[in-house]
């Protein structure tokens, strides 16, 4: 069964800092991995998707890397802004028997606060 | 292009009742998945529908069921509600069912917040 761990669970930094969010997963037989952000009481917004054959993806100030063999992904946020405050979730697709399930497996997320 | 629409936004029920939640996917999307989010367990996969057929199911009891209509809209039903069913229920859609070799992302709705009293 795929298990996902995200570190740190919470992070508070001043505006302008560059930061790294970490995600590890137990089964490396994944097809892809998505990073999402979730604002309080809201749904998820997809940020980046990395295919298993790729090493990284970039979108604006966000860069996600994937080391499939070691079961790790990182999300790098450059020049953080207060609007980046949210919970960030990583979700590998595939891996593990999951009782027959074929959905995404989510970590508990990193709760990020950017102080103005 | 409208996003994934979930109704109702909030719902309050009592133990033993049943509830039906609705999800309208993005136009052109044929795959609909449902997830349950609770503070303790986080996000957990419930099931996925594609072309009106349930393709995959997570580890939830039979009280949780769903269906998909010909226009790809989906409903989720929970019977005999328990206090532990209180959660945010999220629906997600994608164009293709096969996301294994494509860059097909999942797009989520804002969810239905269910409270069971």
Question: pLDDT tens digits for A83-112?
Answer: 999 999 999 987 654 433 467 889 999 999
Q: What is the pLDDT of residue A95?
A: 67
Interface test with B, best of A33, A91, A99, A103 (most B CBs within 10 A): A103
Q: How many CB atoms lie within 10 A of CB A114?
A: 20
Low-confidence ranges of chain B (pLDDT < 70): 1, 97-103
Check CB contact of A45 with chain B, cutoff 8 Å: yes
Radius of gyration of chain A (CA): 14
Interface test with B, best of A102, A107, A109, A111 (most B CBs within 10 A): A102
Helix/strand/coil percentages in chain B, nearest 5: 5, 50, 45
What is the token pair recorded at A62? Answer: 């966000």
Average pLDDT, rounded, for chain A: 91
Q: What is the pLDDT of residue A100?
A: 39
Closest CA to B105 of B23, B21, B52, B29: B29
Q: What is the pLDDT of residue B21?
A: 98
Q: What is the pLDDT of residue A99?
A: 37
CA distance B109 to A44: 7
pLDDT digits over A25-48, tens only? 998 888 889 999 999 888 899 999
> What band does A65 get if pLDDT is binned at 50, 70 and 90?
very high
For residue A106, what is the enclosing H or E element? Answer: none
- Closest chain A CA to residue B6: A43
Subunit contact A101:B90, Cβ cutoff 8 A: no
Chain Cα centroid distance, residue B101: 24
CA distance A57 to A79: 17
SS3 B96: coil
> What band does A5 get if pLDDT is binned at 50, 70 and 90?
very high
Q: What is the pLDDT of residue B56?
A: 84
Exposure pattern of B46-55 as b/e (b: 16+ CB <10 Å)? bbbbbeeeee
**With contacts defined as CB-CB under 8 Å, which chain A residues touch B111?**
42-43
């Amino acid at each position: 069964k795929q298990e996902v761990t995200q570190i740190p669970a919470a992070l508070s930094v001043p505006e302008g800092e560059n930061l790294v969010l970490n995600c590890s997963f137990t089964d490396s037989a994944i097809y892809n991995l998505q990073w999402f952000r979730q604002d309080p009481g809201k749904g998820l917004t997809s940020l980046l998707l990395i295919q298993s054959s790729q090493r990284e993806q970039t979108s604006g100030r966000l860069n996600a890397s994937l080391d499939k063999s070691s079961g790790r992904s990182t999300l790098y946020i450059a020049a953080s802004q207060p609007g980046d405050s949210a919970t960030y979730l990583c979700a590998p697709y595939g891996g593990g028997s999951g009782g027959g399930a074929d959905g995404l497996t989510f970590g508990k997320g990193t709760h990020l606060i950017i102080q103005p | 292009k409208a996003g994934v629409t979930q109704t109702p936004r909030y719902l309050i029920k009592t133990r033993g009742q049943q509830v039906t939640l609705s999800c309208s996917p993005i136009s052109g999307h044929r795959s609909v998945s449902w997830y349950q989010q609770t503070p303790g367990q986080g996000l957990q996969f419930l099931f996925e529908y594609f072309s009106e057929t349930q393709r995959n199911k997570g580890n939830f009891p039979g009280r949780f069921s769903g269906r998909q209509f010909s226009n790809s809209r989906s409903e989720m039903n929970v019977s005999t509600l328990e206090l532990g069913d209180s959660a945010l229920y999220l629906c997600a859609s994608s164009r293709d069912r096969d996301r294994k070799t494509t860059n097909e992302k999942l797009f989520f709705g804002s969810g239905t917040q269910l409270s069971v009293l």
